[in-house]
Structure 1
Amino acid sequence: MYKLLKNYVDGSILILLLSVILFSWTLFSEDEKQAEDFYIDSQWTVSEGESLWGIARSATEEMDLTIEEAIVWIKSANNLEDEEIFPGQKLAVPGELKGVATE
């Protein structure tokens, strides 16, 4: 009887651990997509001496988006592999929130 009960408890713990891992994975993978889904593109032309960090900071001054999130968004929207940009390059940067009324 004890051995049978022990097998059920071990199986329950394993199922519980797998459930927690899967839930955590889906929760964190959704957070990465949120920044991409809710902002529209604005156009930015890179000037001499500008950095991706500076552009992200300027583009997000009045938005609820961190500079790090904006950099990830810009790199994703423009298919950039690294943070190297060039004068004259046109970049899509996050603009207004989709579906949010503005004055």
Structure 2
Amino acid sequence: MNRFIKPNQSIKISHIITAMIILLFIVVTTIPVDSKGLEGYERSTIVVSEGDTLWSIAADLHEELNTNKETVINWIKGQNELEETVIITGQSLTVPIKKGEN
């Protein structure tokens, strides 16, 4: 029995290594930047004004919440069961706020 890797086996091993690198990249890039999340904050309801976007709402909130805009957007999407980032003037949204600022 030959203990060395045959040429066609080396291709398979390189595919496995490549797949593992891609998988590692996907896992690392999908981990939230802010690991503490927004569990410790209260909820408030706002009404979307003309010109508001999830990005602009998150921009107003992220520094006060000591997190990044993406975390705030993902929290708002999750709490409001939004599949997309499109919001409509007059729509009510639940947003995170610091405790005691309600």
CA RMSD of aligned residues (A): 2.8
Q: Distance in 2 between matches of 1:37 and 1:83?
A: 21
2:88 alignment partner AA: F
SS across alignment from 2:70: helix
- Corresponding residue for residue 96 of structure 1: 98
Q: Give unmatched runs, 5+ long, in structure 2.
A: 1-26
- Corresponding residue for residue 41 of structure 2: 39
* Correspondence list, 1:38-77, <5 A: 38-77=40-79
Q: Deviation at 1:65? A: 1.2
SS across alignment from 2:42: strand
For these two proteins, the number of residue pairs brought into alignment is 73
Superposed CA deviations along residues 23-72 of structure 1, whole A, max 9, x for unmatched, are x9xxx58x76x424222111111011111100111122322111010001
1:94 alignment partner AA: P
- TM-score of the two chains, using structure 1 as the length reference: 0.59
Match for 1:84 among 83, 86, 89?
Answer: 86
Percent of aligned positions that are identical: 38
Q: Distance in 1 between matches of 2:54 and 2:77?
A: 9
Q: Distance in 2 between matches of 1:95 and 1:36?
A: 9
Q: Distance in 1 between matches of 2:44 and 2:62?
A: 11
Are the aligned partners of 1:60 and 1:94 in contact in 2 as well (CA < 8 Å)? no
Q: Give unmatched runs, 5+ long, in structure 1.
A: 1-23
Q: Distance in 2 between matches of 1:96 and 1:68?
A: 17
Q: Which runs of 4+ in 1 moved over 6 A?
A: none
